[in-house]
Amino acid sequence: MSNWILLVAGILTYSLAFFLIIVAGFVIRNIKEYKKWIPIIAVIIIIMFVLPNINTNNTQINLLLSRFKVSSEGLAGNNRSSVTIDTLLNNMFLTARGLVGYGDGYAECLNSLYEKKQILTIKTEFINFGILGMLFLYVLPLFYIIKTPHFSKKSLCFVICFWLSLYQRPWLYIVSNYMLLVSGVAYLNTSEPYEKINQNIKKHLSIGRKI
């Protein structure tokens, strides 16, 4: 029931990232059951290439569907960048700054000078801290989480989706987000063994009844 409540709440936010993360989570959880991918792929094709061209006579729905439209510039709903950020990011990787970055807050400051609005994106973290900084700040914690005892398949799915969400909200070190990550992994790591035990108990009970 709680999952359905979260799903409805996510749909009502009109968030493109929410839909993409839901799809990514489904694919990861069913990575070996490729037959389940067929309806998902069909739905994605319809959403991205058919629905954006349909007028529903509803402003909000049309706005949501238009974000899935693919053009020569990429996905229309990807508003997590700006000309300033993209130019700075492309140029810095040609120099030593690509390794160490420009320092905390540099990207946000420069973007505020040349753009009308601020943006939240992982690209600013690359500009501020460089490749080495990103490895230290984001990749090392990822490996640490994965190496926790009894790390489960559900935990892996959760962690991958969490890291994907950092593209639009690079707030790993905000207390609420960090606690969500750690507590989520801890819960999933401990819940999966109990689920297996319950399945084994039900299996033995069903065998006993047949006997």
The CA radius of gyration of the chain, in Å to the nearest whole number, is 21
The per-residue pLDDT for 208 is 47
Q: Is residue 126 within 8 Å of residue 167, measured between CB atoms?
A: no
pLDDT in tens, the chain (211 residues): 567 777 777 767 666 677 777 777 777 777 777 777 777 778 777 777 777 777 777 777 777 777 777 766 666 666 677 888 888 888 998 888 899 999 999 998 988 888 877 788 888 999 999 999 999 988 888 888 888 877 888 888 888 888 888 888 888 888 888 888 888 888 888 876 555 545 554 554 455 455 5
The per-residue pLDDT for 203 is 54
The per-residue pLDDT for 75 is 66
Q: In whole angstroms, what is the distance from residue 81 CA to residue 124 CA?
A: 9
The per-residue pLDDT for 132 is 93
Length of the chain (residues): 211
Q: Cα dihedral sign for 14, 30, 148, 193? A: positive
The per-residue pLDDT for 43 is 76
Q: Please list, in sequence order, all residues whose beta carbon lies within 8 angstroms of the beta carbon of residue 54, skipping any fewer than 6 positions away.
A: 65
Global pTM reads 0.68
The per-residue pLDDT for 130 is 92
Q: Please list, in sequence order, all residues whose beta carbon lies within 8 angstroms of the beta carbon of residue 105, skipping any fewer than 6 positions away.
A: 128
The per-residue pLDDT for 117 is 79
The per-residue pLDDT for 195 is 56
**Pair type for strands 70-71 and 74-75:** antiparallel
The per-residue pLDDT for 204 is 47
The per-residue pLDDT for 99 is 92
Q: Is 92 buried (19+), middle (13-18) or exposed (0-12) by CB count in 10 A?
A: buried
